[in-house]
Amino acid sequence: MRRFITVVLMLFAVQRLCAQIRIIPHDKLLEAANPKAVASSLSFVPERVDFGTIDEMSGVWQGSALLTNSGSDTVVVTRLKTTCGCLVADAQKRVLAPNEQSRVSLKYYPRGHAGRVLQRVMLYTTRSDEKPSAILAVGGLVTASEDRSDDYPYQRGVLRLRQERIGLTATERQVVRIAVMNGGSTVIRPEADKMFLPSGVSVRFEPSQLRPKEQGDLVVEYAPQGEMAATKGFKIFVKGLNVPPRQSAIDVTFEN
């Protein structure tokens, strides 16, 4: 009987999931992956800009391409749209007379986009606001950076944190994780000073020791206690960082 109920529940879950899935026609998927421009007198030279191989943490890459109006009529550029917020494009001129050119500047922000990259700049004119009049491809290879320090902007000694405050709900049992990294050059074994932890709170680091540049988690487990509801929060003091307690403190607040 229990097995029959389990099967029925599984079938019901699958049926609900299928009802929520939107089927996209194959031709629409191809169109999204390879957008096509309407026939126009505008063209990019070159049609693809290759930025080669760059490091993920190397900062903004900058390049450009020429937009040419080879027609006999003046063309007005209304907007430039990119397929990713990591790519920014801007045209030097928005009104192109016959045989006139405009340089389109390109900025690509590689951080967080490691791997083979192929993005597009779609240029729209007064001729059509639905389909681009010219498309420029921008691509290359972004190598993953070994140094992830910039992902952890907050510091407690050599311990770097992705966020410096923890928010808890006073009336709910919960487990909260904060990504951390050892920003120093030696192994550290951080741990919370239990003397300052209130009842119902436990803190640990996973892993318990961090090698230089190694990433891990600060894990806070909280079980509601009657006396905690009246407090606004507390501090976690981290030992093993060779800094005064006030410089190792992490704020924990209770949210509604």
Query: Domain end: 117, 143, 169, which one?
Result: 143
Neighbours of 38 (CB within 10 A): 14
Q: What are the phi and psi torsion angles at 38 (to 5°)? A: -75, 155
The predicted-structure confidence for 171-193, as pLDDT tens digits, reads as follows: 888 999 999 999 999 999 999 99
Task: Work out the average pLDDT over 226-232.
Answer: 64
Query: Domain end: 143, 167, 188, which one?
Result: 143
Residue 29: per-residue pLDDT: 36
Look up the domain containing 88 and give its range. Answer: 37-143
Q: Please check whether residue 186 lies inside any domain of the structure.
A: yes
**Cβ-Cβ contacts under 8 Å for 247 (sequence gap 6 or more):** 156, 157, 241
Query: Domain end: 143, 174, 190, which one?
Result: 143
Distance CA 107, CA 91 (A): 12
CB 121 within 8 A of CB 135: yes
Same structural domain, 132 and 163: no
Task: Work out the average pLDDT over 7-20.
Answer: 50
Task: Work out the average pLDDT over 3-28.
Answer: 48
Residue 228: per-residue pLDDT: 59
Residue 30's DSSP bridge partners are: none
Give me the chain's average pLDDT, please.
84
Task: Work out the average pLDDT over 195-214.
Answer: 92
Domain total of the chain? 2
Q: Please check whether residue 27 lies inside any domain of the structure.
A: no
Q: Please check whether residue 238 lies inside any domain of the structure.
A: yes
Residue 15: per-residue pLDDT: 55
Residue 17: per-residue pLDDT: 46
Q: Please check whether residue 13 lies inside any domain of the structure.
A: no
**Percentage of the chain with pLDDT > 90?**
59
Tokens (6 digits) for 207: 């892993």
User: In degrees to the nearest 10, what's the CA dihedral of 104, 43, 79, 128?
Assistant: 180
Distance CA 158, CA 247 (A): 11
Same structural domain, 90 and 117: yes
The predicted-structure confidence for 27-76, as pLDDT tens digits, reads as follows: 333 334 456 777 789 999 999 999 999 988 788 999 999 999 999 999 99
Which residue in the block uniquely carries the two structure tokens 């990713």? 84
The predicted-structure confidence for 135-153, as pLDDT tens digits, reads as follows: 999 999 999 877 777 788 9
pTM of full prediction above 0.75 = no
Q: Is pLDDT above 90 for 20?
A: no
Q: Please check whether residue 31 lies inside any domain of the structure.
A: no
Q: Please check whether residue 203 lies inside any domain of the structure.
A: yes
Residue 25: per-residue pLDDT: 42
The predicted-structure confidence for 64-109, as pLDDT tens digits, reads as follows: 999 999 999 999 999 999 999 899 999 999 999 999 999 999 999 9
Q: Please check whether residue 173 lies inside any domain of the structure.
A: yes
Confidence of residue 8 (pLDDT cuts 50, 70, 90): very low
**Cβ-Cβ contacts under 8 Å for 6 (sequence gap 6 or more):** none
Residue 91's DSSP bridge partners are: 104
Residue 31: per-residue pLDDT: 38
Task: Work out the average pLDDT over 203-215.
Answer: 92
Residue 186: per-residue pLDDT: 95
